[in-house]
Structure 1
Amino acid sequence: MNARVIPIKPVGTAAAPPDGGRQRLRRWAQAGFFVLFVLAPVFNLLRYDLVAGHAWLLGFEWHAGLEDFSAGRIDALGAVGRVIGRVLLPILVAGGVLIWVSWKWGRLYCGWLCPHFSVVETINAYMRRATGKPSVWEPRALPPREPDGRPVRYDKRWWFITVPLAVGFAFVWAVVLLTYLLPPFQVYGHLLAGTPTRNEFIFITAGTIVLSAEFLFARHLFCRYACAVGMFQSLAWMGNREAMVVGFERDRAADCASCYSACDHVCPMRLKPRNIKRTMFTCTQCAQCVSACETTQQDNPRGPLLQWVAGEAARHNEAAFAAPKPERKSQ
């Protein structure tokens, strides 16, 4: 007689998340890039020093080479060549890599690395706890639960954390942006001593005020309409019909009845992931909608309805939206 073997889960081991740890990996990537964003000027990895009059790149001084032109050692044509080779060409190469990645996979930089987007998501979470809505412009409150069923309690006292957090992020951003223009140790030294220069004080104060307003009221609008980096990524992505996109199995739409539109509620850009690609112009490929669908449908033997697709599958995903044109009757 064959005995049935029942697998026993070891004590203390956590169940693997339905998305395979995708969102955990993304959080680590965002945290790492945010640290890089803050420390890059400190280690001269990337910044322009207004005091020294030259840039720094990967720890080395980066000059355009115009000092030789000023000293008469090269002519105007040589100066133009140096500007093209040392300034324009590196910018074009970096921009080309970003556009190529976006053309194939969409706004991966925004969803997985961008330090501004990580702030957007953080403030979304706390504002939702304070108001039930991830943005002050949201028309209605979200359901008070997570995709895995955990309840979310809304309490206006969370405003006492949300507002200081947004102002704190704004202050950090203002200081860090200043270190991209002035020697970082000078900026941090003056702040620690409480003796910032007049220009440093004006820059940090103005930056904190503007960014606080942006983080509290317009962070999604900035990502959608004002961020040039995001806009160029979106344009490149929309130009490739086979680019990676969140695909929806529309022939199984009835399975969505068992869900509460969790994919819509978790989107930090407030998009509708089950819609057509051209309405998802600002999608950051954060895949929170995919993870939410995997969570709510984890007991469905047919699997989730949302997943990343590319190539011919991406074309088919869009073609499913194209309604057949009515045939013209012959007269």
Structure 2
Amino acid sequence: MRCSTIDVAPSTLTHTARQRRRRALQAAFFAFFLLAPALNILRLDLHEAQLWVLGQRWTLGIAAFRAGTLDSTGVTLSILLKAILPALLLIAGFLFVAWRWGRLYCGWLCPHFSLVELLNEALWRATGRRSLWEARSGPQRSRRWTALFLAAVLGFGLLWAVTLLTYLLPPREIWANLASASLTPNQARFVFIAWGLFSAELLLARHLFCRFGCAVGFFQSLAWMANPKALVISFARERAASCKGCIPQVDACEAACPMRLRPRQIKRLMFSCVQCGQCLQACSDSHGARGSPPSLQWQIGIAAVRETLRQHRRT
């Protein structure tokens, strides 16, 4: 039987190109997330109790049924075809991707995870750590980067709060009221409360929310764990001794992981892995500097099953 795998070349260029594509996808989806309400791609207008999807008013025929212009069969079919069936297809497709490749949405698209990576890097430059809960292992404290980190936390917290409100009320109204400092009392309360909550989360619990608080990520992980052939990080344990000379002195793969996981662990201990591939690049860079092949690579299909069986034998 032929082994189905993803070829992971040891060269830094290959990993760099993959990360550039991932960054481009993240940036595009981040822009989509911010602009979707303004373009009526997706939003709920609470003023009209109206859902907008792809620039169209999304109706289920309930109003027409109440007005007597649509019979019970018609409204039932409308609900089935416009609500239930699309929702089931979307959920099934989403979970299939997770079952086959893991949390790709989180690592390659999710706007929140994009901020996790951005703020982790800013905090690293500011304090030598990627989480406030870790011991310092990097450069000395930088006041300039500390100020940039705090400004980014507050700025993105405000942006998140305002964007969320535009998913519920007309974006033009919200941005106009914000620009003229004339938000209604309810709008102002929503923005300031959400701003505080988002800023606190971005400051203290970025990756912790992704690991333990995000339902979208949790169900992707469940689907991924259910498939022994799914894409997985494989560790060449026969070359474990080569990791002792890792550059930098701390384990490069662990330092690079934005979820603060240990990539050489078995799959069930990598439950929250988002398949970003940064540990692969760090491993390749570190081993390449010493002229040895990387110890980490992606495996899928039968190769992933073999990796799982090896893990079970060692536990």
Is the shorter-chain TM-score for this pair beyond 0.5, marking a shared fold?
Answer: yes
Superposed CA deviations along residues 260-288 of structure 1, whole A, max 9, x for unmatched, are 31001111111000000000000010110
Cα separation, partners in 2 of 1:233 and 1:183, compared to 1, 3 Å: same
Moved more, 290-299 or 270-279: 290-299
Distance 1:48 1:132 in 2: 42
- Give the structure with higher Rg (CA): 1
SS at match of 1:286: coil
Partner of 2:222: 235
SS at match of 2:312: coil
CA shift, 1:20, in A, is: 4.1
Superposed CA deviations along residues 207-235 of structure 1, whole A, max 9, x for unmatched, are 10110111111122211121111111001
Which aligned pairs between 1:29-44 and structure 2 lie closer than 5 A? 29-44=25-40
Distance 2:274 2:141 in 1: 27
Do residues 17 (structure 1) and 13 (structure 2) align?
yes
CA shift, 1:33, in A, is: 0.7
Q: In structure 1, list runs of 5 or more residues that go unmatched.
A: 1-14, 145-151, 326-331
Superposed CA deviations along residues 175-206 of structure 1, whole A, max 9, x for unmatched, are 11111111111111111122111221111111
CA shift, 1:318, in A, is: 2.0
Cα separation, partners in 2 of 1:33 and 1:191, compared to 1, 3 Å: same
Q: In structure 2, list runs of 5 or more residues that go unmatched.
A: 1-10
CA shift, 1:48, in A, is: 1.3
CA shift, 1:141, in A, is: 1.9
Partner of 2:279: 289
Partner of 2:6: none
Query: Could you tell me which of 132, 141, 148 is aligned with 2:136?
Result: 141
Cα separation, partners in 2 of 1:27 and 1:153, compared to 1, 3 Å: farther
Moved more, 311-320 or 282-291: 311-320
Point out which structure has higher relative CO (alpha carbons under 8 A, 6+ apart). 2
Superposed CA deviations along residues 64-97 of structure 1, whole A, max 9, x for unmatched, are 2110121133455543443232122222211111
Query: Could you tell me which of 265, 275, 299 is aligned with 2:265?
Result: 275
Which aligned pairs between 1:38-53 and structure 2 lie closer than 5 A? 38-53=34-49
Tell me, yes or no, if the aligned pair for 1:18 and 1:295 is still in contact at 8 Å.
no
Partner of 2:8: none
Moved over 3 A (4+): 15-18, 73-81, 299-302
Partner of 1:210: 197
Partner of 1:159: 146
SS at match of 1:137: coil
Query: Could you tell me which of 48, 54, 60 is aligned with 1:58?
Result: 54
Tell me, yes or no, if the aligned pair for 1:290 and 1:306 is still in contact at 8 Å.
yes
SS at match of 1:43: coil
Q: TM-score normalized by structure 2?
A: 0.90
Tell me, yes or no, if the aligned pair for 1:18 and 1:294 is still in contact at 8 Å.
no
Which aligned pairs between 1:1-331 and structure 2 lie closer than 5 A? 17=13, 19-76=15-72, 78-138=74-134, 140-142=135-137, 144=138, 152-259=139-246, 260=249, 261-299=251-289, 302-323=292-313
CA shift, 1:298, in A, is: 1.8
- How many correspondences in the alignment? 302
Q: TM-score normalized by structure 1?
A: 0.86
Distance 1:54 1:131 in 2: 47
RMSD: 1.9
**Identity score, percent:** 45
Tell me, yes or no, if the aligned pair for 2:12 and 2:281 is still in contact at 8 Å.
no
